[in-house]
Structures are given as C-alpha cells and as structure tokens.
C-alpha cells in the first residue's frame, strides 16, 4: 500500500469535486495543508513551495481555494492572514467554520479547534450578527 499515492488521489478528488483542473501548484499547495497541523500564512507557503512556483501563482491558488471553500482565512492581530483547511461542510463562497481559532503566543502556530464552537454573542439592538470570529491566544500543547 502506497500512502503517497493515496494522498495524491485524495487531493485529486478534492480538486475535481470543486471543478478545478488538477495542476502541479494546486496539488503541491493542497498537500502542504494536508501535511500540516496548524494554519499557514501566505509567507509560509511561499517559502515551502515557492522555489517551484511563482509568487503570483501562490496568491491566485490561495484565492481560488478560499472561493471554493477548500480553505478559510483566520483573522489575526498582526498583519498576516492565515489559511487553514475547511471541513467538508464548506462550499462555494459560503463557509461554515463556526469553530474557534487558537494562536500560540510562544511558537506562533495557529490551530483550528474544530470541536470548540463559537458562542452566541448578545449585541446591542441596532446590530445584526452574520458571523462570529473567535481567536484565542495562549499556549498550545507543545509549548507548556
């Protein structure tokens, strides 16, 4: 049994499912996410895959993946967008990532806590909530 082949098959399936043609850069970048526990910033991806692909390609691939609901963005206080894989429930343009994100203040890794659901927030009368983003900062498993 060849794990490499299986992963590659899963990647191809994901791309097909989203009506995306199967290209080297998409395969490579999607694989980076699958190999990864935490989330990835654009810079990380550029470093890891960047020798092989143009910067522009990385930007466009990430954009495409977000649009298709394959990955989602995670807001952070510093100026670096982070991306993480979506669960299957996500689809074109509409994300259902109602989970909490965790950023380690020590190692700076970002995690999706898929089992921790974002709470209801009581807003002042005049505001309507569409989506709630929760980012918790602290120490992760490995850092304490």
For residues 67 and 142, which CB has a smaller minimum distance to DNA in the complex?
67
Q: Which of a second copy, DNA, none interacts with 40 (beta carbon under 5 to 8 A by kind)? A: none
Q: Are 118 and 84 in contact (CB under 8 A)?
A: no
Alpha-carbon distance 33 to 26, whole Å? 11
For residues 52 and 141, which CB has a smaller minimum distance to DNA in the complex?
52
By three-state DSSP, how is residue 142 classified? helix
Q: Which of a second copy, DNA, none interacts with 100 (beta carbon under 5 to 8 A by kind)? A: a second copy
- Using CB under 8 A as the criterion, which residues of the chain lie in contact with a second copy when the complex forms? 73-81, 100, 102, 105, 113, 115-116, 119, 121-124, 126-141, 144
CB 73, min distance to a second copy, A:
5
Of 132, 137, 104, the C-alpha closest to 117 is 132
User: DSSP letters of 23-55?
Assistant: -HHHHHHHHHHHH-SS-EEHHHHHHHHTTTS-H
CB 63, min distance to DNA, A:
7
Q: Are 95 and 112 in contact (CB under 8 A)?
A: no
Alpha-carbon distance 44 to 108, whole Å? 12
Q: Which of DNA, a second copy, none interacts with 94 (beta carbon under 5 to 8 A by kind)? A: none
For residues 30 and 100, which CB has a smaller minimum distance to DNA in the complex?
30
Residue 139 CB contacts under 8 Å (≥ 6 apart), including other chains = 104, 105, 106
For residues 3 and 79, which CB has a smaller minimum distance to DNA in the complex?
79
- Using CB under 7 A as the criterion, which residues of the chain lie in contact with DNA when the complex forms? 20-26, 42-43, 52-57, 59-61, 64, 79-81
């Amino acid at each position: 049994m060849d794990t490499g082949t299986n992963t590659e098959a899963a990647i191809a399936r994901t791309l097909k499912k989203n009506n995306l043609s199967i290209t080297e850069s998409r395969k490579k970048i999607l694989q980076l996410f699958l190999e990864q526990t935490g989330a990835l910033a654009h810079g990380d991806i550029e470093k890891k895959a960047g020798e092989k692909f143009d910067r522009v390609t990385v930007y466009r691939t990430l954009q495409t993946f977000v649009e298709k609901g394959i990955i989602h963005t995670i807001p952070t206080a510093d100026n670096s967008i982070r991306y993480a894989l979506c669960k299957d429930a996500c689809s074109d343009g509409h994300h259902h990532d109602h989970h909490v994100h965790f950023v380690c203040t020590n190692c700076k890794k970002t995690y999706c806590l898929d089992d921790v659901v974002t709470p209801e927030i009581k807003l002042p009368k005049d505001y309507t909530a569409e989506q709630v983003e929760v980012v918790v900062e602290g120490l992760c498993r490995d850092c304490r």
